[in-house]
Amino acid sequence: MKKLWRSTATTALAIGVAALFGPAAAKAETPQYGDELRMVVGSNIPSFDAHIESTFGMIHPIRPFYSVLIRVNPDNPSSPTDFVCDVCEGAVPKPTEGGTKYTFKIRNDIKFHDGTPLTAHDVKATFDKIVFPPEGIASNRVAYFRMVESITTPDDYTVEFKLKNPSGTFLPSVAMPFNFIYAKKDLDTHGYTWHQKNVNGSGAFKFAEYVPGSHVKGVKYEGYHHKGQPYLDGFTAIAAPKMSVRLQAIRGGQADIEFRGFPPKARDDLVAALGDQITVQESDWNCVLIVTPNHEVKPMDDARVRRALSLAIDRKGGSQYLSKIAIVKTVGGIVFPGHPLAATEEELSQLAGYGNDIEANRAEAKRLLKEAGHENLKITLHNRGVDQPYKVVGTWLIDQWKKIGVEADQWVQPSTPFYATLRSKKDFTISLDFNCQSIINPIADISKFLPGSGANYAYFQDEQLVKWYDEMLAEGDEAKQRELMRKYEKRVLDDLASQFITLWWYKINPHRSYVKGWKIAPSHYLNQALDNIWIDQAEKKRQLGG
């Protein structure tokens, strides 16, 4: 008990110290040049092409090689609206022509790593690939740019985006870290799939080496357009799928940082073992685990059964305890908690499964199951073979459902067959799924719950949801957007219980305290350019010797 108290107190102290003095200290300290960052990455790289990938396994090692048009402010990455130019000039442009035109001035001092100057034509070619991909060419984020009508280049250093209608989701979509700027020359010469296996960017680091299953190496790009950066001579991204390996690598000094996030227990162990040699940064995470029933399979075609399964979940209790052992914490609806468009606690409590009286919720759940003729329901929860947080939450869900008499077991698949089951085989009854986004952009983010959106694996149709979603997209007034959002959320989580929320993730990044300049963001995809990170070399020497 004493040990537990001591470890908790140390953790709290470390977080407190980091929170209180971290930013101030960072401001006061002068960045040092030199040395190399060693990060551990808990996933392999499916391909180098960010336009078709959605995983941190690609973003963490590859993002430092590329630039983007605009990005979240690296000094204020928690803000969902603070964007700054990367390859564009000055401030992020305001829209003109009634909110339907954005004009970006491109810097004229940027070169790709192969020496080719970066111009507006490269930006246009990149966004053409993302927004209007040719037949047969994949692009993962076409849906985010549905409002874009055309992209033009009036001159070599100007790009214009013409929108079909004013949209508050356009800039956040442009700022997504997946929109790597590719050289038009490369696309024209090598084709649209060349970037899956090759790298030619204009980021802070030049690609040096990739050893599959082992590591990616980058070296400082001396011609980087943000003057004075990067501070590091290079970086190595070490592939380490097992969490214990990543944890021990940081503890043993073989790695400096892991950008995705550790569970609380790992944080406590690191802090207890290394004390002030570890800095802990924590943040809410724009990532949520959702339960997706397959409406095409009985008994999930019955809204009463789906509602009952949602009512059985004690989200508040789960948050209190699961937050100690898993990377989940926050109770919320479909919108990132804390965002102006998110439901308040009172609004949430009106929805099925969010009421404060869990016993009453479960009594109602049992009544619904009885009414539906499924008193002794047996189901198999389809889950992803990843411990944090999928299998932990899956085990908890099964226990929650047991409390209303539902017997469930777990069918776990590795990531690739897991997605094949969700997307093409569709032979599951109910599954855990996630909605992880980069920039907090609620209206775009909630497309996950939109029937027929492509990423919605519940397989149902509902015209009302589509109508409200389209109205939200076209609505410029935030109060009206919020009103529509509440209707949309109630229909998803309550009336239809088409999908339901478990808990929002919580990001914990313990790293060696000599790693400076990096600030946590509410997404593991954000702030990964590594151009503002530096190593306090004296402190590193003190910690690791040598």
Partner 1 sequence: MTTMDVSPETNTGFRRKTVWDHLSRLVRRQPLGAGGAVVIIVMLMMALFAEFIAPYDPEANSFEYMLVPPSLDFLLGTDQFGRDLFSRIVYGARTALFVGFACAIIGAFGGLVLGVASAYFGGWLDLVMQRIIDVFMAFPLIIMALAIVSIFGTGTDKVIIAITIPFIPRCARVVRSSALAVREMPYIDAARSIGYGHFRIIMKHIAPNVVAPFLIMLTAFLGEAILLEASLSYLGLGVQEPTPAWGLMLQGGAEEYAESAPWVPVWPGLAITIAVFGFNLFGDAVRDMLDPKLRTR
In the complex, the smallest distance separating the C-beta of residue 68 from partner 1, rounded to whole angstroms, is 36
In the complex, the smallest distance separating the C-beta of residue 144 from partner 1, rounded to whole angstroms, is 34
Positive or negative: CA dihedral 274, 279, 523, 184: negative
3-state secondary structure of 51: coil
**Which is nearer to partner 1, 44 or 413 (by Cβ)?**
413
* Contact call for residues 219 and 205 (beta carbons, < 8 A): yes
Q: Which of 541, 274, 308, 327 is nearest to 434 (CA)?
A: 327
**Which is nearer to partner 1, 208 or 272 (by Cβ)?**
272
- CA dist 435 and 316 (Å) reads 20
- CA dist 119 and 89 (Å) reads 12
Non-local (6+) Cβ contacts of 434 within 8 A are 287, 288, 289, 290, 390
3-state secondary structure of 223: coil
**Which is nearer to partner 1, 47 or 410 (by Cβ)?**
410
In the complex, the smallest distance separating the C-beta of residue 345 from partner 1, rounded to whole angstroms, is 22
**Which is nearer to partner 1, 118 or 358 (by Cβ)?**
358
* Contact call for residues 193 and 161 (beta carbons, < 8 A): no
Strands of 327-389, DSSP E: 328-330, 378-384
The number of beta carbons lying within 10 Å of the beta carbon of residue 142 is 15
In the complex, the smallest distance separating the C-beta of residue 510 from partner 1, rounded to whole angstroms, is 14
In the complex, the smallest distance separating the C-beta of residue 420 from partner 1, rounded to whole angstroms, is 12
3-state secondary structure of 468: helix
* Contact call for residues 184 and 122 (beta carbons, < 8 A): yes
In the complex, the smallest distance separating the C-beta of residue 249 from partner 1, rounded to whole angstroms, is 13
Helix pair angle (264-274, 243-252), 10° resolution: 20
**Which is nearer to partner 1, 103 or 248 (by Cβ)?**
248
Q: What share of the chain is helix, strand, coil (3-state, %, to 5)?
A: 35, 20, 40
User: Tell me, what amino acid is at 149?
Assistant: E
**No. of H helices and E strands in the chain?**
17, 17
Judged by the rule CB under 8 A, the positions of this chain that interact with partner 1 are 3, 7, 242-244, 263, 265-266, 268-269, 272, 317, 320-322, 324-325, 385, 387, 391, 394-396, 398-399, 402, 409-413, 417
Backbone dihedral region for residue 464 (phi beyond 0: left; psi -120 to 50: alpha; all else: beta): alpha
- CA dist 546 and 534 (Å) reads 19
In the complex, the smallest distance separating the C-beta of residue 197 from partner 1, rounded to whole angstroms, is 25
Strand pairing report for 328-330 and 278-293: unpaired
In the complex, the smallest distance separating the C-beta of residue 408 from partner 1, rounded to whole angstroms, is 9
In the complex, the smallest distance separating the C-beta of residue 329 from partner 1, rounded to whole angstroms, is 14
Question: Measured between alpha carbons, how far is residue 287 from residues 132, 191, 318, 355, 432 in Å?
Answer: 27, 34, 17, 23, 13
**Which is nearer to partner 1, 126 or 429 (by Cβ)?**
429
**Which is nearer to partner 1, 390 or 514 (by Cβ)?**
390
Q: Which of 119, 116, 122, 117 is nearest to 105 (CA)?
A: 119
**Which is nearer to partner 1, 197 or 316 (by Cβ)?**
316
Query: Would you state the structure tokens that stand for residue 528, as one six-digit string?
Result: 């990964």
Length, in residues, of the chain = 546
In the complex, the smallest distance separating the C-beta of residue 349 from partner 1, rounded to whole angstroms, is 22
Q: DSSP per residue over 285-323, as a string?
A: EEEEEEEEE-TTSTTTT-HHHHHHHHHT--HHHHHHHHH
In the complex, the smallest distance separating the C-beta of residue 321 from partner 1, rounded to whole angstroms, is 4
**Which is nearer to partner 1, 265 or 423 (by Cβ)?**
265
In the complex, the smallest distance separating the C-beta of residue 13 from partner 1, rounded to whole angstroms, is 18
**Which is nearer to partner 1, 8 or 193 (by Cβ)?**
8
Query: Would you state the structure tokens that stand for residue 476, as one six-digit string?
Result: 């410029």
Query: Would you state the structure tokens that stand for residue 39, as one six-digit string?
Result: 């990060």
- CA dist 14 and 456 (Å) reads 40
In the complex, the smallest distance separating the C-beta of residue 381 from partner 1, rounded to whole angstroms, is 9
